[in-house]
Amino acid sequence: MGITKTEIFTEEQNQIAKIAKVIGHPARVAIIEYLIRVDQCICGDLVEEIGLAQPTISQHLRELKNVGLIKGNIEGTSVCYCIDPINWNHIKALFSSFFDTYKNEACDEQCC
Amino acid sequence: MGITKTEIFTEEQNQIAKIAKVIGHPARVAIIEYLIRVDQCICGDLVEEIGLAQPTISQHLRELKNVGLIKGNIEGTSVCYCIDPINWNHIKALFSSFFDTYKNEACDEQCC
DNA sequence: TTATTATATTGCAATATTACGATTAAGTTG
DNA sequence: CAACTTAATCGTAATATTGCAATATAATAA
């Protein structure tokens, strides 16, 4: 079917999955890492930097914006993109908490 | 095309994306959270707990195993699944480092 | 107004993912 | 061995994703 049964999962599970899915493409990881390195840039910079077509980059930017990882501000004919600081912290906390839930005490033998 | 141009990205970017993609489905998040809660379980438990068909759960388990998030040990007719402690720590560190790369000093105004 | 610049949107083609019924494989029990 | 239990695999339908050419939109410059 290709369709996910979101209704049988919790809000939190769907939220983690939704954000992870967006991070789950190397182009979007590359965009994020570039944005962190240069603080802010426009779509054209990313097209040059990453080497995908402009519509493709634009599409990836939209998905990153949809989940709040980045934000964009119109500046004349171009759009200035950057990490969304507030949301970044929320998402970081969400994933920290997810990864911290597992405690591997003995780290070896207790598990199957 | 539906095909990702992995060759134009770094190993690290592809690795983060690959793992995030696997976490990017609520059923797999639910499986992980359940495994953390109960320590270990068999496929049938997850079929009951989550409410997807057995082949579907089995498929999700394979993907989780492929990226090393979980491991499975054959025990009689059933397979005992659990979080892979060593890999979990690596992956946790990978994502911590990814999220920690961004420092939002002033947290507001410096960005566009 | 007519370029020019920068980005978004549309419309595909190719491929991947999700889900499940049917079946297979492999160990266990009677 | 035959029946049973448990999980993996196969095949397939429905849908989603990726990438890009072509086009549209929107602001600025000449």
Cα(B46)–Cα(A52) distance, integer angstroms: 40
* C-alpha to C-alpha distance for B28 and A101, rounded to whole angstroms: 15
Percent of chain B at pLDDT exceeding 90: 88
- pLDDT tens across B52-104, in order? 999 999 999 999 999 999 999 999 999 999 999 999 999 999 999 999 999 97
SS3 A111: coil
Residue A73: closest CA among A106, A34, A40, A44: A40
Q: For position B110, what pLDDT does the model report? A: 57
For residue A110, what pLDDT band results from cuts at 50, 70 and 90? low
Q: Which of residues 48-67 of B touch strand C (CB under 7 A)?
A: 52-56, 59-60, 63
- Find which of A8, A15, A21, A25 to mutate to test the B interface (most B CBs within 10 Å of its CB): A25
* Average confidence (pLDDT) over A10-35: 98
Residue that wins the pLDDT comparison between B110 and A103: A103
d(CA A107, CA B72): 16
Give one DSSP letter per residue of A61-94, joined into a string. Answer: HHHHHHTTSEEEEEETTEEEEEE-HHHHHHHHHH
Least confident span in A99-108, B27-36, B89-98: A99-108
Per residue in A27-63, pLDDT tens?
A: 999 999 999 999 999 999 999 999 999 999 999 999 9
Q: For residue A111, give the nearest of B40, B38, B36 by alpha carbon.
A: B40
What domains are there in chain B, each with its CATH number? 9-97 (1.10.10.10)
User: What is the reported pLDDT for B109?
Assistant: 55
Question: Closest-CA residue in chain A for B51?
Answer: A8
